[in-house]
Amino acid sequence: MATVTKLYAMSGLKIIKTKAQIMEEFGMSARTVDSRLTEIRQEMRNGGRYAGYEYTIGGSGKYTLINYLVFVDHEMHRGLLTQKNLRKNLPPYNPAKIAQELAMYADKELALESVRE
């Protein structure tokens, strides 16, 4: 009789990045990243898309820490977020889905067979 055991390996990038890392990864200037962070902060207030996610942006200046998943989501939906009527059709923010699509924390299933006699 064979027994199959599933093992899951977690792998991926860090979720929290510095402003400099975001600038380098997305090829953006400091001014562009600052304007995006202002937009994200607006979405954190008053029931916006990222309200309830307190670890979205932290620190200030050179040491600003940014939630990578929020930043990616904001970049993907930025055009729709700025338009009042179109933003109603956006799916809710789902960090787990974004991480899975980016293959940041995809579960890698490894099957092991052990043979019993």
If you ran DSSP here, which 8-state letter would residue 10 be given? -
pLDDT of residue 104: 62
1-33 pLDDT, tens per residue? 555 554 444 445 678 899 999 999 999 999 999
CA–CA distance, 64 with 57 (Å, rounded to integer): 7
Strand order in the sheet with 65-67: 16-18, 65-67, 57-58
Question: Which pTM does this prediction carry?
Answer: 0.75
The proportion of the chain whose per-residue pLDDT surpasses 70, expressed as a percent, equals: 77
The CA distance from 105 to 55, in Å, is 18
On whether the CB atoms of residues 73 and 98 are closer than 8 A, the answer is yes
Residue 7: the pLDDT is 46
- Domain containing residue 31: 2-115
Give tens-digit pLDDT for 61-114.
778 899 999 999 999 999 999 888 888 889 999 888 888 888 765 455 544 444
What is the count of structural domains for the chain? Answer: 1
